[in-house]
Amino acid sequence: MNVALLPAHKTKIVATIGPASESPEMLVRLIRAGVNVARLNFSHGNPSKHAEVIRRVRDATRETGRRVAIMADLPGPKLRLGKIDPEPIQFLPGAHFTLTSEDIVGDTQRASTSFERLPRVVKPGDRIFLNDGLVQLVVERVAGNEVECTVAVGGELRSRKGLNLPGVDLGISAFTEHERLAHGVDTCDRACLEFALDMASLVEHALYTVPSDLLVVPTRGGTVARAISCFKPPVWIIAPSSDPAVCQNLAFSYGVYPVDLAEQPDDWREWTSHWVRENGIAAERVMLVAGPSPRNPKANHRIELMRLDAQGMLQ
């Protein structure tokens, strides 16, 4: 991607994409105005509609030559009460109320829930919030399909209101099958994460000891670049990677400018010098966080200070 200069802001500008902003023309205008994260609300619409909007965003990024990350705002699985008749019900503290996984019409004594696992995941003493926490129950006893409760905080209750179990392992995924289509993460084990944080701390110290104009962090999985961005260094983090998915995920990180590579270069010093010249970046001192390369596959990670002349050539 050729750019005249880096963006003036390191934070991300998030725009929610809806009916007023999902046209191809409007998406191009938003991206040119500085938007670099497109938020989709998965509480509305359907998977095919979201897939179409994502395709339009990708087309707009190709037209503008800018990278835009997709943020999927996921509602997750819905836990709700069943039908109640008559309604509304008024609860007073100390009253008894039973929740059941059976399909019944609720009343002042008991009500059903769409969460069939409820009797298997709660125990006496657990709290159950209803209607956004306006009504709070304490579990007294679990018997078969029924959960017998005492009202701790009273209030009004109607059909289909939400149910929440703070601190209880529900045994279900936060992602539904449709939402998994938009789910993409970089995975790393504990040792990898600890190394990344140690390297990030070293880079932070080096940047403030030897001020630089640019930080170049070649990356495979994005872990080190993402960890460094948490320190919010005062310079741009250029993160070249040959994995498009890694580049896309790094677009969320503060101050990170991902660069797609067709293949990994033999020499990161030469690549950095060429990239700075090609993109017209004014950088006299560049800090390079480099590791193994095709030329030297057994190399350790290192932090190296590069000095460039006015034309971007290595000194």
Q: Is the pLDDT of residue 34 over 80?
A: yes
Per-residue pLDDT band at 190 (split at 50, 70, 90): very low
Per-residue pLDDT band at 290 (split at 50, 70, 90): confident
Q: Is the pLDDT of residue 188 over 50?
A: no
Please give the single-letter amino acid code of residue 80.
Answer: R
Per-residue pLDDT band at 205 (split at 50, 70, 90): low
Going from the C-alpha of 73 to that of each of 39, 62, 232, the distances in angstroms are 7, 23, 25
- Could you tell me the domains of the chain? 14-76+177-182 (no CATH), 89-164 (2.40.33.10), 190-307 (3.40.1380.20)
> 2 vs 200, which has greater pLDDT?
200
Q: Is the pLDDT of residue 186 over 50?
A: no
> 168 vs 143, which has greater pLDDT?
143
- Calculate the average pLDDT of the chain: 81
Could you tell me the sign of the dihedral formed by the alpha carbons of 295, 301, 307, 309, in that order? Answer: positive
Considering only 17-21, 44-48, 255-259, which range has the smallest mean pLDDT? Answer: 44-48
CA atoms within 13 A on the CB side of 218: 24
Structure tokens at 82: 């069943």
Please give the single-letter amino acid code of residue 156.
Answer: E
- Determine if the peptide bond prior to 86 is cis (ω within 30°): yes
Could you tell me the sign of the dihedral formed by the alpha carbons of 40, 44, 48, 53, in that order? Answer: negative
Alpha helices in the chain (DSSP H): 24-32, 47-64, 118-121, 190-209, 223-229, 244-250, 268-278
Q: Is the pLDDT of residue 2 over 70?
A: no
pLDDT one-digit tens code per residue, 122-143: 999 999 999 888 899 999 999 9
* Strand 37-41 versus strand 14-16 pairing type: parallel
**Degrees (nearest 5) of the Cα angle 189, 232, 276?**
95
